[in-house]
Structure 1
Amino acid sequence: MSVDHARTAADRLAVADLANAYADALDRREWQALDEVFTADLAADYNGQYVISGRDAVVAMIRSYLDPCGPTQHLLGNHRVAVDGDRAQLTVKMRVHHIGAGERADRTYECFGWYHAEAARTARGWRLSTWRQEVTAELGTRDVFVGV
């Protein structure tokens, strides 16, 4: 394998790992870990419902849903990464399960679809600069989220 092919393979894996790190951070509620996933000037679109600029604002929106929620599991698969120099495109299938907390523990909400992202190579490694969630199906109730 040539040096260029090895670097491209390593870049593809690093970009795919960003999506996995996102899922792990959310499920573990490790919000600071998202600093290693997203650029500070992140542009995000959550299924057209939330279009947000800035990593801190995106993390605050995510926390408004997940902090009062019970356990979650963000399952990702079929990672597709195309690298072009210091930029990359990522598409990954998602299936996300949420369970309510407290008096809502009997409720569940699940969504299916894709995450689409653009990544940039930075001085600190690859980071996602855009993040878009595309929900194609929903099951259960959004009542698992307090105040939504």
Structure 2
Amino acid sequence: MTHDREQIIERLAELAAALDRRDWEALGAAFTDSATGYGAAGRDGIVAVVRAHLGGCGPSQHLLGNHRVEVDGDRARSLTYARVHHQGAGPAAGASYECFGEYDDRWTRTRDGWRLTSRTFTVSHDLGDAAVLRPG
């Protein structure tokens, strides 16, 4: 079970890096085909919603911590604190937006490793100008 926990935490780090690099292919690969997340259904829908928020944003950094992972056979749940900083770009250059919250993720073990079946991010508080989040 410790190995599963480590794998899930590594998947979370890879996902955070994909968000910050705007690596849409890697973002999609983190989810199963029928996953839900960010208010969308299906891998393509999830990627589209995230692109609409980060595609026109400047640099971002998703910092994750306080990982709590529960594994039950081929299913798992992780709760992860996040602090996410976004810089503005284009018409929002010079502005920034930072949010603090918790990811509630559900996982399934696949032949390619752990993949998300659902993702919810609950913002506890935020600072700055959310207008930096915009499509590219």
- TM-score, scaled to structure 1: 0.87
The separation in 2 between residues aligned to 1:18 and 1:38, in whole angstroms, is 10
The separation in 1 between residues aligned to 2:44 and 2:128, in whole angstroms, is 29
For the residue of structure 1 that corresponds to 2:12, the secondary structure is helix
Q: Which residue of 2 aligns with 1:20?
A: 13
The separation in 1 between residues aligned to 2:133 and 2:71, in whole angstroms, is 36
Q: Deviations over 1:54-96 (max 9, x none)?
A: 1110111100111111000000001111111101110000000
Q: Which residue of 1 aligns with 2:80?
A: 92
Q: Which residue of 2 aligns with 1:104?
A: 92
Percentage of identical aligned residues: 47
Q: Does 1:39 align with 2:32?
A: yes
- TM-score, scaled to structure 2: 0.94
For the residue of structure 1 that corresponds to 2:127, the secondary structure is strand
Paired letter, 1:16: I
The separation in 1 between residues aligned to 2:29 and 2:10, in whole angstroms, is 11
User: How many equivalent residue pairs?
Assistant: 135
For the residue of structure 2 that corresponds to 1:13, the secondary structure is helix
The structure with the largest alpha-carbon Rg is 1
Q: Does 1:73 align with 2:61?
A: yes
The separation in 1 between residues aligned to 2:133 and 2:106, in whole angstroms, is 28
Contact 2:28 2:47 in 1 (8 A): no
Q: Which residue of 2 aligns with 1:4?
A: none
The separation in 2 between residues aligned to 1:103 and 1:34, in whole angstroms, is 26
Contact 1:82 1:90 in 2 (8 A): yes
Structure 2 unaligned regions, length at least 5: none
For residue 49 of structure 2, the aligned residue among 61, 76, 91 is: 61
Give the alignment's Cα RMSD to 1 decimal. 1.2
Contact 1:18 1:128 in 2 (8 A): no
